[in-house]
């Protein structure tokens, strides 16, 4: 079963899918190696790791798709990718969907933020009208070549319209054809009761972004599942962990002039090259050696 069909199959069969965010192909390979059934590529983590920029709408659709293509090619598990606002109107969304499909991802999420968009944890965000977002979702559904390709509708409407407005939009997005809803952003909903209310309000799969920051209460995977969320991502944790480890490494080298104390805190070189597939390359070299 190919990754796109496998991702759809997991959603259809109401499996719990934990998809950690990855920032490059190495992180993707590690996630696959430890056994995650899917992985996630977000806008924040891409903007930060590839360009060293904050997630404020600076990265183009072409750049996001290129990064997604590289990650997808490096693993065999399904990849869910961030498509931001779809990079324009409904017509632009059509091409965005088709290009992400060509890149090999299993699905994308499109949000109802107005341009220029920002990370969901940052203030100052605004949303487009429900009708405009509905048109984008319909365009996305119509544009996909493979019916198994998953369309996730994300709403950032809580800050402007509250819970009632958020749920109203979610229902409109499902009616428009969204396969999954992503309604929890960094600035809200703000309570466990509100999160439970969302979990009870919809029959489609719900996506939860696990985090230790922002207004949304922290929930573990079992807690999120109990509240009705079955697709669970951690958007930037792997990059945060890598950045912390890199900072400690750089400080050690700068302050002490040695990396000896870090030897047992790094993946062994041979294990790392195994992760990258060097044994398979060596086998091919032997096969084709004249």
pLDDT in tens, 192-248: 899 999 999 999 999 999 987 777 788 999 999 999 999 999 999 999 999 999 999
- In angstroms, the CA 158 to CA 175 distance is 19
The values of phi and psi at residue 112, to 5°, are: -100, 20
For the beta carbon of residue 131, count every other beta carbon within 10 angstroms: 10
- Please say whether the beta carbons of 61 and 96 come within 8 A: yes
Whole-number pLDDT of residue 25: 98
Instruction: Compute, in degrees rounded to 10, the torsion defined by CA atoms 215, 218, 221, 224.
Output: -60
- In angstroms, the CA 268 to CA 290 distance is 32
Sign of CA dihedral 130, 8, 239, 235: positive
Sign of CA dihedral 1, 29, 154, 208: positive
Closest CA to 73 of 3, 125, 150: 3
Whole-number pLDDT of residue 187: 67
Domain ranges of the chain: 3-236, 243-288
Cβ-count burial 28-37 (b if 16+ within 10 Å, e if not): bbbbbeeebb
- In angstroms, the CA 124 to CA 131 distance is 22
- Can you identify the CATH homologous superfamily of domain 3-236? Phosphoenolpyruvate-binding domains (3.20.20.60)
- In angstroms, the CA 138 to CA 81 distance is 19
- In angstroms, the CA 181 to CA 107 distance is 12
Closest CA to 28 of 17, 16, 40, 18: 40
DSSP state of 185: B
Tens-of-pLDDT digits for all 290 residues of the chain?
A: 999 999 999 999 999 999 999 999 999 999 999 999 999 999 999 999 999 999 888 999 999 999 999 999 999 999 999 999 999 999 999 999 999 999 999 999 999 998 878 676 666 678 999 999 999 999 999 999 999 999 999 999 998 899 999 999 999 999 999 999 999 876 668 788 999 999 999 999 999 999 877 777 889 999 999 999 999 999 999 999 999 999 999 999 999 999 988 888 999 999 999 999 999 999 999 999 86
- In angstroms, the CA 175 to CA 159 distance is 23
Closest CA to 162 of 189, 132, 199, 202: 189
- In angstroms, the CA 21 to CA 67 distance is 13
- Residues 6+ away with beta carbon under 8 Å from 41: 21, 22, 67, 68, 71, 79, 80, 81, 82, 105
């Amino acid at each position: 079963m190919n990754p796109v069909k496998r991702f759809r199959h997991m959603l259809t069969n109401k499996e719990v899918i934990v998809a950690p965010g990855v920032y490059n192909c190495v992180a993707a390979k590690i996630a696959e190696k430890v056994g995650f059934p899917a992985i996630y590529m977000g806008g924040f983590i891409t903007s930060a790791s590839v360009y060293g920029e904050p997630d404020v709408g600076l990265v183009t659709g072409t750049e996001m798709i290129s990064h997604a293509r590289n990650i997808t090619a490096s693993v065999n598990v399904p990849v869910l990718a961030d498509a931001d606002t779809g990079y324009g109107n409904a017509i632009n969304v059509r091409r965005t969907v088709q290009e992400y499909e060509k890149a090999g991802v299993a699905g994308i999420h499109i949000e109802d933020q107005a341009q220029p968009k920002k990370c969901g944890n940052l203030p100052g965000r605004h949303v487009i009208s429900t009708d405009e977002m509905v048109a984008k979702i319909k365009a996305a559904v119509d544009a996909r070549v493979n019916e198994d390709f998953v369309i996730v509708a994300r709403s950032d409407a809580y800050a402007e319209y509250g819970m009632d407005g958020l749920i109203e939009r979610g229902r409109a997005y499902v009616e428009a054809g969204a396969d999954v809803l992503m309604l929890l952003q960094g600035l809200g909903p703000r309570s466990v009761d509100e999160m439970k209310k969302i979990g009870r309000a919809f029959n489609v799969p719900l996506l939860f972004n696990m985090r230790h920051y922002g207004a949304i209460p922290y929930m573990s995977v079992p807690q999120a599942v109990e509240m009705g969320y079955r697709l669970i991502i951690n958007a930037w944790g792997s990059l945060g962990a890598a950045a912390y480890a890199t900072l400690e490494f750089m400080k050690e080298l700068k302050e002490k002039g040695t990396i000896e104390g870090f030897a047992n805190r790094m993946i062994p070189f041979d294990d790392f090259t195994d992760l990258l597939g060097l044994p398979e390359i060596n086998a091919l070299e032997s096969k084709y050696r004249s």
